[in-house]
A and B are shown apart, each in its own frame.
Chain A
Amino acid sequence: MRIVRALVLAALAAVAGYLLLFGGRTGAGPGRGRVVVRYWEKWTGKEAEQMMQIVDDFNNTVGKEKGIYVQYLSMSNVNQKTLVATAAGVPPDVAGLWDTQVAQFAAIDAVEPLDDLAARHGITADYYKPVYWEGCRYDGRLWALVSTPAAVALHYNKRLFLERAKELRAAGLDPDRPPRTLDELDRYATALDTFTELPGGKKQIARSGYLPMEPGWYLAYTGYWFGADLYDEKTGRLKLDDPKMVRAFEWVKNYSVRLGKDSMTEFRSGFGQFASSQNPFLVGTVAMEQQGPWMANYIENLKPSMNRWRFPKEKEKGLPLASRQANYEWGAAPFPAADPALGDVTVAPFDTLMIPKGARHKEEAFEFIAYVNRQDVSEKLNALHCKNSPLRKVSDAFLRSHPNPYIAVFERLATSPNARGVPPVPIWPEVADELGVAAQRVYLLEAEPAQALADAQKRLQEKLDEFRKRQRIRAGGERE
């Protein structure tokens, strides 16, 4: 028995010894002899593969030349994992986070400022589209750069417009173009709505022209199309109950009132997931919606026939843009603003690259971030991800060969002075959640817009004031 035990122990010791001597460790693999930059990113699937192409390009060119090797790791909940790893003192060198985290992470000292590094690489405000550059800044400093940006536009189904041409014309609307004012959008929506008559005379929504809550990702920012500001940076006060915001939420509420809250809720419960072939825009149960430039990719993957409406894809090659656009069952245009004087209003969200506090290889990490922001590289990545460019300078080739035939619309929107991003509020994720709940209360007719927004304003302003007070206590300037 003793012999058996000794043998088992010896075998375990041998395995442990082998793993200690020859097991995996940092520095092994293709990056041997180079500085290994650990890069954590949120993307999975195709988007991860496309970013891997950029990482491979870097490792085979600039990385090889400068002795840097980028190790790409794709993961879920990257923001939480980055934060925990940073707190533990073992952060990644580069983290691919969201724009909503710039102010939040900067305010709690979770990321490194990038001003000096960016200036040394010639990346300045002039290099970027203003909306993205401003979104990377907080409290007068630069904390992030952009990997892939976007701009939100109206997407409309041309086939459904043609099917309802008679009704649209009867309403004095042109079925061959998208709406240009918010009033027009409401009238288009009404003309495109269709209903099924149920036994007993009850009407059920069969198709909706437009629903503010589908997909509803940008409901918190609806006020932008009404000229509202969500935050006053000078006074540090939120402006969630601004009269323009109230008007915006009144507009959202009107859709529930017009279609009937219960009918609308029942109708929406039949919708499939966004990234599925049951997506309501793809199956034609919603004729218009707010989406980013990535929609072209989703359509290509989930319902390619919408990108081959008139002729096979091969015939598109070499055609002028207007002829290419005619082959798409859908179109994209600026989402109309309430005030016609407000031209090209959009929300411009983006994905960021940041260097967490305490990263071991800051200089090398920024070499990679700067590489991703090189015009040719940025255009390659954003064409692959089907997004617009964050940079001021955009090549003709990018516009010509982009998989989204409406990319010029998104470029125009992102460059617009009315392009708006996430306000620089350090507790923005909490504000966005509260605005989302306020919007739900409004469209479920649980609260009047003014009340829902006043409640949100009161609660969030108190939270923001408390956050600032605690930061001051932390800095030693005030006592609790």
Chain B
Amino acid sequence: MTRAERYRLANGLAFLSPWLVGFVVFLLVPVVLSFYYSFCDYSLLQAPAFIGGGNYRELAADPVFWKSLTNTLVYAAMALPAGLLVSLGLALLLNQRVPGQSVYRTIIFLPSLVPTVASAMLWLWLFNAKLGLINTLLETAPFRAAIGGLNGLLGLLRLPPLQTPIGWLTDPTWALPALALMSLWGVGHTVVIYLAGLQDVPRELYESAELDGAGAWRRLRNVTIPMISPVIFFNLIMAIIGTLQVFAVPYIMTGGGPARATYFFTMYLYDNAFTYLKMGYASAMAWIQLLLVLALTAVAFWSSKRWVHYQSK
């Protein structure tokens, strides 16, 4: 290495050092340590004592761990597809050349800018069983008629009728779906990414599809979806990570209740770390969560070979 090269290297490292030091001190070291702590009894105050797989064995036998994991997976199964579909639908609508297009786009994006706590407070009121706007709407004539019809159908299927007013956040049956419904409030970011993808679809593909006699649905299915499949894939990965780490909104809105119906994995992890002072146990949970996210992401990558199409290929 010449003197000039050494000088350039030193310069490069110097400019890189703020990030490098931050990465090592605030990410790499804590990640490595948390792996070690997951095999320890550690309360922050006492030195970590190695206990082998004790934390993992205790987790396997802990019903609250399984409850929180089940809640998280059920929530992900509702919020993830709903979020992807609604945001794709909105992006398709917002991609239409209509007067006031930018206004509509702004309106859809605005909720994403509302701070989490403010959104949670707003939805607490919307979901209020007695005074909430949603239940007030459900009490209006058209909705009452629809619910009546639905209950008739449920009766035929010998299923219990839908009781109103719905205790969105106070009834264990409805609390999790209510939070999944609320998660659609913040789809603005995903919509923007879809919009960028949609605008990247070459016009000539639509034109040739039209010449071949393809209608709107065929164009969507055979041109739009394949062409934006890398974007859908990206949003899917981000949604897997996001939904499996859900914390702030349920923490504010329900505190995990009623009767742990909305007690998520990350909430139990947080409680173990900072309320019950079990850092080792919480670290074991964090690693299980990481493995879960990695496994689901790997499945998504494996399946992507069949449905994600890149333009260069």
Contact A269 B51, CB 8 Å, known A84-B44, A108-B46, A444-B259: no
B93-144 at interface with A (beta carbon < 8 Å): 128-131
The interface stretch among A128-136, A237-245, A260-268 is: A260-268
A86 to B44, CA, bound (A): 9
A480 in contact with B51 (CB, 8 Å): yes
A314 to B10, CA, bound (A): 78
> Interface of A with B (CB < 8 Å)?
77, 80, 83-84, 86-87, 104, 108-110, 262, 265-270, 357, 427, 429-430, 433, 437, 440-441, 444, 446, 455, 459, 462, 466, 470, 473-474, 480
> Closest CB of chain A to B44's CB: distance in Å?
4
A interface, by DSSP: helix, strand, loop or mixed?
helix
Contact A270 B131, CB 8 Å, known A83-B44, A437-B259, A459-B64: yes
B45 in contact with A444 (CB, 8 Å): no
Q: Can you list 23 A-B contacts with CB-CB less than 8 angstroms, sorted by A residue number?
A: A83-B44, A84-B44, A104-B277, A108-B43, A109-B46, A262-B171, A265-B171, A266-B130, A266-B170, A267-B130, A269-B128, A269-B130, A269-B170, A270-B129, A437-B259, A440-B257, A440-B258, A470-B49, A470-B51, A470-B54, A473-B41, A474-B41, A474-B46
A51 to B16, CA, bound (A): 48
A265 in contact with B46 (CB, 8 Å): no
- B271 close to A (CB within 8 Å): yes
A473 in contact with B274 (CB, 8 Å): no
When distances are taken between beta carbons in the complex, the residues of chain B under 8 Å from A357 are 45
> Closest CB of chain A to B25's CB: distance in Å?
14
B246-267 at interface with A (beta carbon < 8 Å): 257-260
- B165 close to A (CB within 8 Å): yes
B47-86 at interface with A (beta carbon < 8 Å): 49, 51-52, 54, 58, 61-64
Query: What are the nearest 3 A-B pairs in CB distance?
Result: A270-B130, A269-B129, A87-B44
Known contacts A83-B277, A437-B257, A474-B41; 6 additional CB pairs below 8 A are A265-B171, A437-B259, A466-B58, A470-B41, A473-B51, A480-B54
A437 to B261, CA, bound (A): 10
A266 to B167, CA, bound (A): 7
When distances are taken between beta carbons in the complex, the residues of chain B under 8 Å from A104 are 277
Contact A433 B129, CB 8 Å, known A87-B45, A268-B170: no
> Closest CB of chain B to A262's CB: distance in Å?
6
A109 in contact with B45 (CB, 8 Å): yes
B45 in contact with A262 (CB, 8 Å): no
> Closest CB of chain B to A82's CB: distance in Å?
10
Closest to B275 in A: A429
A80 in contact with B170 (CB, 8 Å): no
- B276 close to A (CB within 8 Å): yes
When distances are taken between beta carbons in the complex, the residues of chain B under 8 Å from A480 are 51-52, 54
Contact A446 B172, CB 8 Å, known A437-B259, A466-B58: yes
Cβ contacts B147-172/A at 8 Å (1 or 0 each): 00000000000000001010101111
> Closest CB of chain B to A232's CB: distance in Å?
22
A86 in contact with B45 (CB, 8 Å): yes
A60 to B170, CA, bound (A): 51
A446 to B260, CA, bound (A): 11
- A441 contact from B45, B46, B58, B259, Cβ within 8 A: B259
> Interface of B with A (CB < 8 Å)?
41, 43-46, 49, 51-52, 54, 58, 61-64, 128-131, 163, 165, 167, 169-172, 257-260, 271, 274-277
When distances are taken between beta carbons in the complex, the residues of chain A under 8 Å from B44 are 83-84, 86-87
> Closest CB of chain B to A261's CB: distance in Å?
9
Contact A473 B49, CB 8 Å, known A262-B167, A265-B170: yes
A109 to B258, CA, bound (A): 34
When distances are taken between beta carbons in the complex, the residues of chain A under 8 Å from B257 are 437, 440
A262 to B49, CA, bound (A): 49
> Closest CB of chain B to A450's CB: distance in Å?
16
A266 in contact with B165 (CB, 8 Å): yes
Most buried by A among B52, B54, B61, B275: B275
B45 in contact with A265 (CB, 8 Å): no
A269 to B258, CA, bound (A): 12
When distances are taken between beta carbons in the complex, the residues of chain B under 8 Å from A473 are 41, 49, 51
A357 to B45, CA, bound (A): 9
B167 in contact with A83 (CB, 8 Å): no
> Closest CB of chain B to A402's CB: distance in Å?
34
A430 to B277, CA, bound (A): 10
When distances are taken between beta carbons in the complex, the residues of chain B under 8 Å from A446 are 172, 259
A265 to B274, CA, bound (A): 31
Closest to B53 in A: A480
A226 to B217, CA, bound (A): 68
> Closest CB of chain A to B52's CB: distance in Å?
6
> Closest CB of chain B to A359's CB: distance in Å?
13
When distances are taken between beta carbons in the complex, the residues of chain A under 8 Å from B128 are 269-270
A455 to B259, CA, bound (A): 13
When distances are taken between beta carbons in the complex, the residues of chain A under 8 Å from B64 are 459
A450 to B77, CA, bound (A): 34
A437 to B259, CA, bound (A): 5
A444 to B170, CA, bound (A): 9
> Closest CB of chain B to A95's CB: distance in Å?
13
> Closest CB of chain B to A269's CB: distance in Å?
4
A80 in contact with B45 (CB, 8 Å): no
A441 to B63, CA, bound (A): 15
When distances are taken between beta carbons in the complex, the residues of chain A under 8 Å from B275 are 429-430, 433
A109 to B49, CA, bound (A): 14
Closest to B280 in A: A470
When distances are taken between beta carbons in the complex, the residues of chain B under 8 Å from A268 are 170
> Closest CB of chain B to A83's CB: distance in Å?
6
A440 in contact with B259 (CB, 8 Å): yes
B58 in contact with A430 (CB, 8 Å): no
A355 to B154, CA, bound (A): 62
A262 in contact with B163 (CB, 8 Å): yes
When distances are taken between beta carbons in the complex, the residues of chain B under 8 Å from A466 are 58
> Closest CB of chain A to B256's CB: distance in Å?
8
B63 in contact with A459 (CB, 8 Å): yes
> Closest CB of chain B to A117's CB: distance in Å?
20
Closest to B276 in A: A430
A446 to B131, CA, bound (A): 25
A77 to B169, CA, bound (A): 26
A84 to B274, CA, bound (A): 9
> Closest CB of chain A to B15's CB: distance in Å?
15
> Closest CB of chain A to B62's CB: distance in Å?
8
A121 to B58, CA, bound (A): 45
